Amino acid sequence: MGLLMAAQASLPGATETPPTEVRRRGWAPGFYGAAGTAALVMAVAPRLGLPCDQCASGTLASALPWAAVVLYFGLGWAGLRRRLSGRLASLPPLYLMAHASLIVESVLDGRWCFGCISVAVLAGGAAAAHSSLTARTPWALAIGLAMGSVLGTLSPLGRIDDALARRLWPARVLRVAPPFADRAELLRCGHESPVKLFLYERPGGCRRCGGATKRLLPLVKDEFPANVCIHVREVPNFPADQQFPVFVLMSLRLDLYVIEGFPSYADLRTLLINLGAAPK
């Protein structure tokens, strides 16, 4: 962030502007108001029972629309008062970097949210209008977009959200587990093994359930005798379209994998090792 601001100040065309006033309002207040309104719709929609199935879930992801509401309405108000210069003139490359990172991360995850893209486009228009008012170089905006695009390939939103969930609300990490999984048992099964493996079956078993019990679990016990604790549970009441068996693998750090169906042992072994189980 400091590097971006330094580059913005040193690039050709960057000029010093009065700290409190610009000569005209331009299009910036309108773009900021539109971006803030779009962000407000995204923030309120889940509260009205209209969540977006393309948006990332989690503490940070839920807070970002509200942060955008405050930021863009605040900048719109500042634009109406012709006070977008000084330190506020350094903000466009920074929020463009954030939008680029979020969009790239979403696309790489296979999520295309019209709301997120709309806010990003309106924010881009606001950034261009804002920079034109304060005679800031367009290269700073381009650098912000480029840095954000590169950052998005590292999935910063997902990483930060996971870290917050594990530190503040560890039980929320288990939301991706199937609804019939006992959350309390997943968190505290009574064993101290690095990895927990829960196998959920249909009552009375099924052909694939029997194959998992007879073929996969013995291999896991043989290769990871002290590093994986195994629990087999029947699910009496399950959704009609539920595929069995269901594997739930969880590490001591609360990293979680869910597999529906019958995986190959190679895939199962890879997941166990990624979660921290060391083969004998």
Tell me: do 189 and 271 sit in the same domain: yes
Domain of residue 31 covers 2-161
Tell me: do 116 and 208 sit in the same domain: no
Residue 170 lies in a domain: no
Residue 235 lies in a domain: yes
Q: Of the ranges 2-6, 185-189, 201-205, 216-220, which one carries the lowest mean pLDDT score?
A: 2-6
Q: Percentage of the chain surpassing pLDDT 90?
A: 43
**Of the candidates 2, 6, 10, 19, which has an alpha carbon nearest to the alpha carbon of residue 89?**
19
Tell me: do 66 and 200 sit in the same domain: no
Tell me: do 193 and 252 sit in the same domain: yes
Between 37 and 203, residue with greater pLDDT: 37
CA distance 157 to 63: 11
Residue 221 lies in a domain: yes
Tell me: do 65 and 203 sit in the same domain: no
Residue 101 lies in a domain: yes
Arithmetic mean of pLDDT, 78-86 = 91
Domain boundary among 112, 136, 161: 161
Residue 196 lies in a domain: yes
CA atoms within 13 A on the CB side of 167: 8
Q: What secondary structure letter does DSSP report for 88?
A: G
Tell me: do 42 and 132 sit in the same domain: yes
Tell me: do 129 and 185 sit in the same domain: no
